[in-house]
A and B are shown apart, each in its own frame.
Chain A
Amino acid sequence: MVQQSLPNSSLPQRGPEGFVLTVSQTQRYAGLLIFVIGLIWTAFSAVMLIVFIGEPFGFFSLFPAVFISLFVLVGVLMAGAGLLELWSNLKLHPAELILPKYPLRLGETCSIHYRRRLRRGTFSKPGRVEAQLVCDEWVEYTQGTDKVTKTHSLHEAELPTRTVVTGEQQADYESRIAISSKELPSFLAKHNQIRWRVIVKLTVPGIPQKCQSEFSLQVLPEVLA
């Protein structure tokens, strides 16, 4: 079945500014999820480590103990990464992308306005916003016993980098995207997709993580004359 909703984004809300796309709940809570998984992983690995250290087999428990220590380390790193992501998200509201028209068509050019607000205060140091417009094929399959996803890039356009001005409460980024008439419309089935996305990276001193937001765009199978 073709999906009605796009991955990585909620459905756009139409407002006075235009169509506002926000990132999905999954992206918003990714940090929390990674932190929780990291904690569980660490706890489980630590218990196994304690069991092996406690075993009265001397030398024969050394190698498993060293091996399991690596798992504990991985868990700690995961929990740490999740915490950093959470910390960043606590400082910032979810990102938004605003377009004057939606969905898009082939042969269309339109402006985009990215915005991400601080929850408190203003930006005290200059930062940077980088963005890209990408289109790729994405497939998912289960063969043997694993679920695998694969992508193949169809289009990649770097958009101009902009500076985040100090003293502002939000990072604003404006640019224009162009979708050539020769490109492909979106296709979003369960296991096979052609995805158009705007990927925006916000780097600001004081915010630990490079904040990356992905906005899925719907492009109709219609060519503008």
Chain B
Amino acid sequence: MLKGSTAAAHRLNPYLSLGLQRNPFVLEDSLAIAPSLWIDRGYSAPPMPRAKQLIQLIGVKGAGKTSHLKRWQAQTGGTYCYYPPGWQRLKMPDVGPIAYWDEADRIPFAYLLVGLLAAVGDRSTIVAGTHTDLSRAAFMVGLPVKTIRIARFDDALLQQWANRRIEAVKIVNVACRLRLDSKKAKEIAADANGSWREAADQLHVWAARRAIAA
């Protein structure tokens, strides 16, 4: 039976009952992922600047393209260009020793060709997050291409990622009563359809249910 003040604290914050400071799957305020929470999927090492190359990350929505771009940019420097839908995408992409183009499939074809041509002239490394293959455009200007297809995550990877996030918000010296088991991970991975965002939404609801019931 909880003492009065502890009971009041648990009413205010039900996650305390699970040994957690808060829900582990709260939306991050920034696009970058804290180093302790990063899961290496085989391409964490950043690209080299001035490689005269297009490196394209191809993956579905929520697969982790932007997270990889942001992580690499934090290590290499260089400009980051995001292309929104609509008329705001009518802008020339930046080049330089290394440049990051996010949602590069939205760049109008003429702008893309000019940007890639500038990259050839400048011996730039262009790192593009994209839903579609841009190698045809790169081939037209003679820029070599390296393609990284971000695979859908499986339940084992999701479980590892989720439990790492739970660990990150554990209260020190208090037993943690929340852990994602493989059965639940399998269920969420199947529903999420390759999207980390969708998985995080479902995990937030799962953790909230456990906290409210505790």
Interface of A toward B, CB cutoff 8 Å: 141, 143-146, 148, 150, 152
Contacts and interface: CB of A to CB of B under 8 A. Distances in A.
B68 to A, nearest CB: 11
A203 to B, nearest CB: 32
Contacts of B66: 144-145
Contacts of A150: 201
Contacts of A141: 27
Given A150-B201, A152-B205, A145 B82 contact: yes
A143 B102 contact: no
Nearest to A143: B197
B197 A144 contact: yes
B55 to A, nearest CB: 18
Interface centre among A143, A144, A148, A150, by most chain B C-beta atoms within 10 angstroms, is A144
Contact of A143 (B28, B84, B103, B205): B28
Interface in B56-81: 61-62, 65-67
A144 B27 contact: no
Nearest to B27: A141
Given A143-B28, A143-B31, A148 B102 contact: no
Interface of B: 27-28, 31, 61-62, 65-67, 82, 84, 102-103, 197, 201, 205
Contacts, number: 23
A60 to B, nearest CB: 11
A144 B31 CA distance: 6
A141 B65 CA distance: 17
Nearest to B106: A145
Given A145-B103, A146-B197, 8 more contacts: A143-B31, A144-B31, A144-B62, A144-B66, A144-B67, A145-B66, A146-B61, A148-B197
A145 B131 CA distance: 12
A224 to B, nearest CB: 23
A152 B202 CA distance: 10
Given A150-B201, A152-B205, A145 B28 contact: no
Contacts of A144: 31, 61-62, 65-67, 197
A150 B191 CA distance: 14
Contacts of B84: 145
Given A148-B197, A150-B201, A152-B205, A143 B82 contact: no
A145 B102 contact: yes
Contacts of B31: 143-144
21 contacts: A141-B27, A143-B27, A143-B28, A143-B31, A143-B197, A144-B31, A144-B61, A144-B62, A144-B65, A144-B66, A144-B67, A144-B197, A145-B66, A145-B84, A145-B102, A145-B103, A146-B61, A146-B62, A146-B197, A148-B197, A150-B201
Contacts of A145: 66, 82, 84, 102-103
Contacts of A143: 27-28, 31, 197
A152 B66 CA distance: 27
